[in-house]
Structure 1
Amino acid sequence: MFAPSPIPETEPPRDCPRCPRLVAFRHELRAEYPDWWNAPVNAFGDPQAWLGIIGLAPGKHGANRTGRPFTGDHAGQLLFDTLGKFGLASGTYEARPDDSLALTGAIIINAVKCLPPQNKPTPEEIRTCRPFLEGQIGVLPRARIFVALGQIAHQSAVKVLGGKLPKAKFGHLAEHRMPDGRILIDSYHCSRYNQNTGRLTPEMFEAVFARAIAVREAMSR
């Protein structure tokens, strides 16, 4: 069982042909792991979300296997634990798409929809996939605050939200106001590498979402 998209009309087709390198890699994995998802990964979460979380791309043994963002790999445990702590997730995360996990007030969208070799999309692949990110952000009527997980997600989010990269430099907990008033908050990616090296601690990650909630409260006054 794979998680359906909350905004299906904005998703790329299962056999999206746009990036030849990613298509070839997808076909390799379908032959090697025929029971995996092995396709562009849908958004996951609440279509009425006030908070948009922009990830990088599916992980090989995570979302590319299970079909749901951050599900089945090390990064997902910290992300979903943190969302639960701030009331943005309910149910139990069991690292599979048919668990009881649900997001409320938040939605996860990847900057790149397909698994790139070595988790490294090329600049051309990032640009080619950006229209899907733009389309998905465009149908989130209540999303005024976004969290970018890592520099690639930050760069794509800034461009989609109408900002200028020279003025919006990436940094953990850096906060950027876009021309239309939407807010982008940066975080180091919650990858296994960043966690194991201490570049990102649970406390640092929680600070990002605490700030997002504080910004939301300020906006509502």
Structure 2
Amino acid sequence: MPAEPERPDFPVREAAGAPSVPALDESVTHCRACPRLVAWRERVAQEGRRAYAGWDYWARPVPGFGPEDARLLVVGLAPAAHGGNRTGRMFTGDRSGDVLFAALHEVGLANQPRATDAHDGLRLHGVRVTAPVHCAPPANKPTPLERDTCRPWLAGELRLLRPTVRALVVLGAFGWQAVLPVLSAAGWTVPRPRPAFAHGARVTLAATGAGPDLALFGCYHVSQRNTFTGRLTPAMLTDVLSRAAEAAGLRAP
């Protein structure tokens, strides 16, 4: 285990030195930098839920999922208490993930529409899924301090993906606000004033140095609140993912 995972600067030190995406993912899983999140994710695992009786919860930070040379990155909010915090994989084992992976399958970016556990055979094609906060937060609401403490992991992920990534889909306003400062630091020009989040928004971020521009897309989050009320329909999600896949060169226009 890397040294001193409880220190607030653990994400900064580990993410900056990660030589590859798999190495970064491994470091993420050891992080204990946010005491409230550590206590919550472990409490949820201990108490469990009747539907998952006997399940050995992951109860650790959940790393990103998908190929390390992804051309498209999808950014959510944080793992669900009984989803990713249980299964150890982003958007796996909850209804939000059911909606997201069904749409990715529809677009041709996943080999199957369902994600039940880390050994279910799911593979993503050219797309990676991650979050600005890697631990399940109480009430699905990380604090600003927790978001900022976790930010180096996303910055490190973007640094390592920069040679290949061409498009980014952000699910929800929280993720949008969290990712814009990271994109600026990672080598893309973020306009001033910063672009506002909206479903269907598209912004082209010019590279600040050598490297490709980035197509940034906004999409309502795949939360049950949004999908159950019809604020986000499968067709709306598929449309955004299709346009992002096209911008990333993963789908013919």
Residues 50, 105 of structure 1: 8 Å contact kept: yes
The Cα shift of 1:96 comes to 1.5
Aligned partner of 1:178 among 197, 205, 217: 205
- Are the structure 2 counterparts of residues 93 and 123 from structure 1 closer, same or farther at C-alpha, using a change threshold of 3 Å? same
CA distance in 2, matches of 1:30, 1:47: 29
Aligned partner of 2:238 among 190, 206, 213: 206
Letter in 1 for 2:24: T
Letter in 2 for 1:177: T
How do residues 1-221 of structure 1 correspond to structure 2 at under 5 angstroms? 7-11=21-25, 12-33=27-48, 35-91=56-112, 93-140=114-161, 141-162=163-184, 163-164=190-191, 166-180=193-207, 181-217=213-249
> Could you tell me the percent identity over the aligned residues?
41
Q: How many residues get paired?
A: 215
The Cα shift of 1:165 comes to 6.9
CA distance in 2, matches of 1:148, 1:117: 21
Q: Which has the larger radius of gyration?
A: 2
- Are the structure 2 counterparts of residues 45 and 14 from structure 1 closer, same or farther at C-alpha, using a change threshold of 3 Å? closer
Letter in 2 for 1:191: S
**More displaced stretch, 66-75 vs 92-101:** 92-101
Structure 2: stretches of 5+ with no match in the other structure: 1-19, 49-54, 185-189, 208-212
Structure 1: stretches of 5+ with no match in the other structure: 1-5
Letter in 1 for 2:167: I
So what's the TM-score if we normalise by structure 1? 0.90
Residues 158, 164 of structure 1: 8 Å contact kept: no
- Are the structure 2 counterparts of residues 13 and 171 from structure 1 closer, same or farther at C-alpha, using a change threshold of 3 Å? closer
Residues 92, 99 of structure 1: 8 Å contact kept: no
- Are the structure 2 counterparts of residues 87 and 200 from structure 1 closer, same or farther at C-alpha, using a change threshold of 3 Å? same
Residues 205, 215 of structure 2: 8 Å contact kept: yes
